[in-house]
Structure 1
C-alpha cells in the first residue's frame, strides 16, 4: 500500500503538520487508525512509538478525547523508539534540539542526533547534517563533509539536497569561469 493511502488517519486526525516526516519514505506510517497506533506503541512497536510522539508533539484536536501538545510526552515516546534505533525518532529528537521545542535549543545536540539518523540512512537527516556542516552550526564548519552529506541525501532522492548540490556546482563553475578570465 502506498504511504499516502496509509496516511488517511493522520490527515483525518489533524496530524497533517507532522507529516513533514512523510516526505521521507523511511518514515511513512503503516497504521490505519489512532487506536492501532496507541495499541502498538504500548506493545513496544518503534514505528508506532514514533508516530505517537508526533501526535503529542503537534497535538490532536479532533478526537473524542483530544491530545494536547505535550513536548515532554512526545519526547518520552520518541525516546522509547530511539532505544530501538528508530531513525525517524532520532531525527525528531534532533529537530527538538534544532528548534528548541521541548528542550533547550542546542545545535551541537541537534547535529549529534541528526548525524546518528543520517548514518542509519535517513535522507532528511543527511541533508540537515550537510546544512549544519555548511553553516558551522553546532559543529565546526566543513564544506567538504557538508557536500558529501548532500551528495548522499541527493542520491536517495532528497530534492533539497539535489538543489543544494546544483547551487554549489553553479557557484564553483562561476568562480572557475572568473578565474579563467584573469
Structure 2
C-alpha cells in the first residue's frame, strides 16, 4: 500500500547518515510515485482474470468508502480462508491500514504470510516490509532482505527497489553501491 512504501522510505531516510540525505530524497520520491493504486498491484500478480475482477471489485469498495461493509469483509475473508492469494493480500492491507477492520499489524502479517507462502510476490514483498519496519514483528533486516529477494526473483519491481535501497544504505547488509544499481 502507499502507506507502506512511504513508511519504508521514511524509515530508510531517517536511519541513514547526513551524507546520504540527498540520496534518500529519491527514495521518498520513488515511494510517493510508485503504485498509486494498490489494487492494481494486488491484481497484477495473478493468472486468473475472473478472480482478478472479483477481487478488484471487492477492493475498490475500500477506496471509495471509509469503511467496508460486513458482507464484503465476510466475502473477502471467505476467499482468503480458501486460499485466494489476492484476497489474503487485500485483507493484509486492510489490517495494516485499519480500513474496514481494526488496525492490527500482526493480523496483517498473518494474511501477507499466507499469500507469501503460496509464492505471491506482493505478499512476499509486504512481509519483507513489515520486518523492515518492525510492524507486528521485531525489526529484522536480514528477514526483510530474504523476503524482498523472493519477490524480486519473480520480477516484482517494488521488491527490487527495496533491495537496491537496502544495499545503497547498508541496512544490515554490506553497503554496496554497485549491487544497489544492479
TM range (shorter): 0.5 to 0.7
Q: Are 2:90 and 1:92 aligned?
A: yes
| Structure 1 stretches of 4+ moved >6 Å | none
- 1:114-125 superposed matches below 5 A: 114-125=112-123
Q: TM-score, normalised by structure 1?
A: 0.65
Mapped contact 1:114–1:128 kept (Cα < 8 A): yes
Q: Are 2:58 and 1:53 aligned?
A: yes
- The alpha-carbon deviation at position 142 of structure 1 amounts to 1.1
Q: 1:168 to 1:84 in 2, by over 3 A?
A: same
Q: Are 2:155 and 1:150 aligned?
A: no
In the alignment, what sits opposite 2:111? 113
Aligned length: 139
Q: Secondary structure at the match of 2:70?
A: helix
The structure 2 residue matched to 1:30, chosen from 38, 49, 68, is: 49
Mapped contact 2:113–2:124 kept (Cα < 8 A): yes
Query: Looking at both structures, which has the greater relative contact order when contacts are Cα pairs under 8 Å and sequence separation is at least 6?
Result: 2
In the alignment, what sits opposite 2:25? none
The structure 2 residue matched to 1:19, chosen from 24, 40, 61, is: 40
Cα RMSD of the aligned pairs, angstroms, is 2.9
Q: Distance in 1 between matches of 2:163 and 2:58?
A: 32
Q: Distance in 2 between matches of 1:17 and 1:174?
A: 31
Q: 1:133 to 1:69 in 2, by over 3 A?
A: closer
In the alignment, what sits opposite 1:72? 70
Q: Distance in 1 between matches of 2:64 and 2:165?
A: 37
Q: Which runs of 5+ in 2 are unaligned?
A: 1-36, 178-182
Q: Which runs of 5+ in 1 are unaligned?
A: 1-15, 32-45, 61-67, 178-182
Q: Are 2:139 and 1:134 aligned?
A: no
Q: TM-score, normalised by structure 2?
A: 0.65
